[in-house]
Amino acid sequence: MSAVRIIVVDDAVAAEDSLALALATAPAPADGRAHQVMGVRSPRELRQLLAVDRGFQLAMVDLDFGPGSPETGLVALRLLDEAGIPCVVWCADIDENRGLLLLAAFHYFEPWALASKAGPIADVTGLVAAMEQGLRPGRGLAERYRPARGGSGPSLLERLVGSTTQLDIWRALTVFSSRPEVAARAKVAESTLDRFLQDRYAPMREAEHRLVGASPDLEPRTDERNRARIAPLHAFAVRHANFFRDGEVEQIVRGRYRRGPAPGTGTAAR
């Protein structure tokens, strides 16, 4: 067993400080060297670092860097995937507004694990120890977000947003809740919006059920169905606005990535 160099991608300095302190008080690696922890505050800083130094054995990646960063952790995961550095997604909390980002993280990349910042730091140091020993942790918290093994057909994410037109409508729904305003903002005909409302309602409800256990009822109980659908779709879009507005999601929708392979078969195609 040997020391591990770890990069923490998080806008909060406290994240890397707490990890460094915990590792400093843990049993030393067999080679006698101390684990090294380095931090960057954003995907932009990570990009600059990886241009000169890729010698890390593990990365701890937050998904949300606050309003000061135009990029989310999906960018960081892509950069680290391209550099061949295993990642642990390390979230401040595992709650609904990060749910679609987590689904995308585990759908298009293969994070090694998922850890909650709300949990004990021993959970994270345990992941480092597993890496040090050449072991891969169990599915744990990540179970909810990993794609189904052997799945066929479009995934839940692909059914939610499968084209740039659909992404434009979701982005319009983060701002507006009336059909004319949404159609105008997305630059689509109201008939196109109506088809979107009809086709996206069921996967939206499925996502809510999967992420937070909401009722899986698939249709509003009214004859004016599109008028009834738009309110919950608007609320869903607002909750996940950081996902729908993410430039990396747009690149994914444009076909930059295909679904990652099953664990152990390599990384996502580029």
| Tens-place pLDDT, residues 146-167 | 877 666 678 899 999 999 999 9
Q: What is the mean pLDDT of residues 70-87?
A: 94
User: Which of 267, 236, 250 is closest to 72 using CA atoms?
Assistant: 250
Going by pLDDT thresholds of 50, 70 and 90, the confidence category of residue 223 is very low
Alpha-carbon dihedral sign for residues 40, 45, 46, 48: negative
Residue with tokens 């899986």: 216
| Tens-place pLDDT, residues 123-134 | 999 999 888 888
pLDDT of residue 196: 96
Mean pLDDT in the chain?
85
| Tens-place pLDDT, residues 3-50 | 889 999 999 999 999 999 999 888 777 777 888 999 999 999 999 999
pLDDT of residue 270: 32
Going by pLDDT thresholds of 50, 70 and 90, the confidence category of residue 177 is very high
CA distance 189 to 201: 18
User: What percent of the chain lies above the pLDDT cut of 90?
Assistant: 57
Q: Which of 92-96, 137-141, 262-266 has the lowest mean pLDDT?
A: 262-266
pLDDT of residue 162: 92
Element (H, E) at 87: strand 87-91
Element (H, E) at 237: helix 225-239
Q: What domains can be seen in the chain, in order of their start residue?
A: 5-146 (3.40.50.2300), 156-239 (no CATH)
| Contact residues for 138 (Cβ-Cβ < 8 A; gap 6+) | none
Q: What is the mean pLDDT of residues 108-122?
A: 90
pLDDT of residue 269: 34
